[in-house]
Amino acid sequence: MRVLSPRSFLLCLIASAFSYSAFAALGGDVTSIQADQAHMRAQRRVIQNAAYTVHEMKSESTTVVREFVSPDGKVFGISWRGPTRPDLQQMLGNYYSEFAAARPTRRMHGPVTIRTQNLVIQSGGHMRALTGRAYVPAMVPAEVRLEDIK
């Protein structure tokens, strides 16, 4: 377990205070997805699945963000692909401080993975072709395969 210095703890605390917003961040409510769409200046389409709903947003920079919403209206996963990475502080919401404090593990090739008690993030790609996903394992509906969060 990693112990944060007082300065790092304060920065994480400030980051989490600012990350709590009206955005449909990871763990947040579906009703605020329109705020994400406006923030990204994106076009949105909704894809209904038997076990979840996907809100797919394509920004002007052609980055695509997908927010996976459970039947109870909570965002349990997000994914992205495109030339730029989305605003992770916005997308991860209250989980951002946990992400910022975590140490990534990296294999020789493949995505960088961060696993904490409450969060899994994988990010990879190369310049102008970035991909990633984040999800809260405890919130993923039982009938959803983790491979589908992409």
Token code pair at residue 14: 């400030």
> pLDDT at position 59, please?
85
In this structure, are residues 134 and 119 in contact, taking their beta carbons and an 8 Å threshold? yes
DSSP labels, 2-34: PPPPHHHHHHHHHHHHHH-SSS--TTSBGGGHH
> pLDDT at position 13, please?
35
> pLDDT at position 4, please?
43
> pLDDT at position 123, please?
92
Whole-prediction pTM value? 0.78
Can you list the residues of the chain whose pLDDT is less than 50?
1-23
By the 10 Å C-beta count (0-12 exposed, 13-18 middle, 19+ buried), 121 is classed as buried
Domain ranges of the chain: 6-138
> pLDDT at position 3, please?
45
